[in-house]
A and B are shown apart, each in its own frame.
Chain A
Amino acid sequence: MTVGAPEIGPAGLRLMSAVPDRVFMTDNSGHDALTLIEEVIEKGGDIPEDLPGSPEDQEKLKRILGKIHEMHSFVSRMSEGDLDAKLSFRGYIAGPLKALQSSLRHLTWQAKMIAEGDLSQRVDFMGDFSLSFNRMVANLADNRDQLISRKEELERSYVALSQANNKLNILSSITRHDILNHVMVIVNYCFLLKEVITDPKLKKQLEAIEFSGKEIQHLIEFTRSYQDLGVLEPMWQRIPVIFTNPTISGLVKDITVQLPDQCYEIFADQMLVKVMYNLVENSIRHGGGVNEIRISYVDEQSLLRIIYEDNGSGISADEKEKVFKRGYGKNTGLGLFLIREILSITDITIKETGTPGKGVRFEMTVPEKYFRRCGS
């Protein structure tokens, strides 16, 4: 070895010993060939037609340059993520390149398996990459196990809560029944006493007791309608389907109902049918001759607006928010209050945005995660 020359490692020595001596030509054609090889390695470019040397050397040079081009294409395609490139030759340089391609193809396959949920994948004998990859997959597996465990806990809690809720429902049903029995006694006695009492002052007081008794009866009856609020799991529902429910279709038989053309599914409490029923009933009860109801959607990507409109008298500006308060209104004062409660179970909000005198316009806003296009 020449003094001062760069040190050649064992791999380099193996390469040199593998290169036949006759490659090192001493005439000009040899020099030109080596220059050409160096240029192609460094700068690329097409293989020139006038190659130096004898026809045999030209053929050999063409093969060498062809292999350089092929390797360049092979590595370029790999760097762009195309792992299907093939090398037409084998050997010292092709071997490690194909080994690299093989490792990348294997990693691609492993990533695919992980994406399909197989978290048992591990990478061996790839140095630091193996450590990081294996730690990442192990963490993913831990997190998944924790999520599964948490899900199971939640499911157990849900079952326990459902059971407690059922018991509370039974209890409230019995209590409601008992209260109604006692109130009926009060109301009936009031009715009987009114027949025998002649003192106007006492009669007036009796009527007040009877009135309160009937109010209690009414309120208790009303709570029966909403005993299932939040009891059943929310589900994906379509509003046009809800309008085929006999309780609503019977209510709107003399009204033109215009339903939306687009198809959406709304994730809401199963009492959504009650929401629609109450809106329609309000239109009929308070709208002053409503004969047209329209429902439409406004899709704003991150939220969906469900618009309910009628051609009735509408709601005055100062009442737009008050109508949702408990106890407000001309009947029980619970209808719109409970509508808001039912919708809020899945974060749906409702407000009235109509023009007084031109009908109501209830706008229900559904968050992104609680609506979807049909079939999606």
Chain B
Amino acid sequence: MGQSRKYEFKWELLGDIEKGRPNLGNTTRLEVYRLMQYTLRDVLEQRYGDEEADKIFREAGKLSGREFFHHLLSGCTGMHDFIRKFQESLRELGIGILRVEEADEISGSFILTVAEDLDCSGLPELNYPVCTFDEGFIRGILEEMTGNEYEVREVDCWCTGDRTCRFEANVRSS
């Protein structure tokens, strides 16, 4: 598949936005982002089913997290520095307000919350969590930071009636 792929992800695919959008700049309305995300999800779900669509979103999130780490979070001097930069970058890019409830450096377990989340805050209540992309995104970042394989699960979500999305991240037992 390798040689025939048209869009193997590279950070350069994001393009030179300054050059390409001299007047409109590098921001857009959140509805547009969500429009793309949820229509894409709709099609994936119709074609591959709910579970498979979730898996694809997690996988894409993981890839995105790894790239995000390498381009925006690399060079951290330690866990404290990493968490601080992670929080700052999510805030500055308008992705969400990241807060840490627990961070056990020895076991590698984290409980993180994201308020005002890009993907879900404000969505109708659905009785199930929807932030599968975020699960993958956090997983990708933590794996790149620690070198461990992670399992990330969203336990509370805006869409389940909770104001804050809460994620539990644990190192996968081998």
A103 interface residue (CB < 8 Å to B): yes
> For chain A residues 154-191, which have a beta carbon within 8 Å of chain B?
none
Nearest residue, chain B, Cβ from A104: B101
Q: Which of A92, A103, A105, A109 contacts B161 (CB 8 A)?
A: A92
Cβ A124 vs Cβ B97 within 8 A: yes
- The verdict on A109 contacting B101 (CB below 8 Å), with A98-B156, A102-B113, A124-B91 known, is yes
Cβ B80 vs Cβ A120 within 8 A: yes
- The verdict on A102 contacting B161 (CB below 8 Å), with A120-B80, A124-B91 known, is no
A44 interface residue (CB < 8 Å to B): no
Cβ B164 vs Cβ A102 within 8 A: yes
Instruction: Tell me the bound Cα distance from A279 to B113 in angstroms.
Output: 67
Q: Which of B80, B84, B160, B162 contacts A99 (CB 8 A)?
A: B162
Nearest residue, chain B, Cβ from A108: B101
One digit per residue, 1 when the CB lies within 8 angstroms of any chain A CB and 0 when it does not, for chain B 86-130 equals: 000001000001011111000000010101000000000100000
Cβ A98 vs Cβ B164 within 8 A: yes
Nearest residue, chain A, Cβ from B116: A125
Q: Which of A95, A106, A110 contacts B163 (CB 8 A)?
A: A95
Cβ A90 vs Cβ B162 within 8 A: yes
**Contacts of B163 on A, CB cut-off 8 Å?**
95-96, 98-99
Smallest CB separation, A108 vs chain B (Å): 8
One digit per residue, 1 when the CB lies within 8 angstroms of any chain B CB and 0 when it does not, for chain A 105-136 equals: 11001100100101011001100000000000
Looking at chain B, what size class is its interface with the partner chain?
Answer: 20 to 34
Cβ A99 vs Cβ B115 within 8 A: yes
B166 interface residue (CB < 8 Å to A): yes
Instruction: Tell me the bound Cα distance from A92 to B163 in angstroms.
Output: 9
Cβ A106 vs Cβ B80 within 8 A: no
Cβ B125 vs Cβ A102 within 8 A: no
Instruction: Tell me the bound Cα distance from A116 to B79 in angstroms.
Output: 12
Cβ A94 vs Cβ B113 within 8 A: no
> For chain A residues 55-79, which have a beta carbon within 8 Å of chain B?
none
- The verdict on A102 contacting B101 (CB below 8 Å), with A90-B161, A95-B162 known, is yes
Q: Which of B84, B102, B156 contacts A105 (CB 8 A)?
A: B102
Nearest residue, chain A, Cβ from B81: A120
Instruction: Tell me the bound Cα distance from A113 to B101 in angstroms.
Output: 11
Tell me what chain A mostly uses at the interface: helix, strand, loop, or mixed.
helix
**Contacts of B125 on A, CB cut-off 8 Å?**
91
Cβ B166 vs Cβ A102 within 8 A: yes
**Contacts of A121 on B, CB cut-off 8 Å?**
84
Cβ A106 vs Cβ B162 within 8 A: no
Cβ B80 vs Cβ A118 within 8 A: yes
Cβ A91 vs Cβ B97 within 8 A: no
> For chain B residues 134-166, which have a beta carbon within 8 Å of chain A?
156, 160-164, 166
Instruction: Tell me the bound Cα distance from A183 to B113 in angstroms.
Output: 84
- The verdict on A109 contacting B97 (CB below 8 Å), with A90-B161, A92-B161 known, is no
**Contacts of A98 on B, CB cut-off 8 Å?**
156, 162-164, 166
Instruction: Tell me the bound Cα distance from A121 to B83 in angstroms.
Output: 10
Cβ B160 vs Cβ A90 within 8 A: yes
| B residues with CB within 8 A of A | 80-81, 84, 91, 97, 99-103, 111, 113, 115, 125, 156, 160-164, 166
> 8 more A-B contacts (CB under 8 A) besides A90-B156, A118-B80, A120-B80?
A92-B161, A95-B162, A99-B164, A102-B101, A102-B113, A102-B164, A106-B100, A125-B115
Top-9 shortest CB links A-B? A99-B163, A106-B99, A90-B161, A105-B101, A91-B161, A95-B163, A118-B80, A102-B113, A99-B164
| A residues with CB within 8 A of B | 90-92, 94-96, 98-99, 102-103, 105-106, 109-110, 113, 116, 118, 120-121, 124-125
